[in-house]
Amino acid sequence: MALPATAAQPEDRARTSPPQTSFEASFARFEALPPAPEPAGHVVDMATIDAPVEMPPAATPIGRGVASYYGKRFHGRRTANGERFDMHAMTAAHRTLPFGTLVEVTNPGNGKTVTVRINDRGPFAHGRTIDLSRAAASEIGLIRRGHGMVELAVLDQ
């Protein structure tokens, strides 16, 4: 039994497909397109823009005082703001600065500086201005003596 004459046979399809062209030849029609227009005067050329320079936050000096540190004995205990004290974190205790304040502490004896976050109240020793975590005190060289004169500056956020 033969199929009706209108139905295309597989060999008929092969004869009606477009001729095979090379890969490169298939893009020839794009080469014939006109060139893209030049950008208008108000378009920004990204090649001429310099990347922004990140500036460190400005600091407002708040004075000098004696800093001490606290560490292993208080490690893991709750601080005044409710978080656990971590002697390896860059934190500090201050009597009046709000919790979360970033303070730049500088040891004028060696010029080393560290930025700490206030998360506790203190110090409770007479004549002390700030209590640093052990990590922060180590960073500026206060571990050997246990205390030392520092300059404090609040970082503007």
**What is the model's pLDDT at position 39?**
64
Residue 67 CA to residue 65 CA, distance in Å, equals 6
Q: Please give the CATH number for the structural domain made up of 59-155.
A: 2.40.40.10
**What is the model's pLDDT at position 30?**
67
pTM of the model: 0.65
pLDDT digit string (tens) for the chain, length 157 residues: 555 555 555 555 555 555 566 777 776 666 667 777 776 667 666 677 777 788 777 899 999 999 999 988 999 999 999 999 999 999 999 999 999 999 999 999 999 999 999 999 999 889 999 999 999 999 999 999 899 999 999 998 7
Number of C-beta neighbours around residue 49 at 10 A: 8
Number of C-beta neighbours around residue 51 at 10 A: 5
**Closest-CA residue to 117 (of 157, 76, 72):** 157
The structural domains of the chain, with segments of one domain joined by +, span 59-155
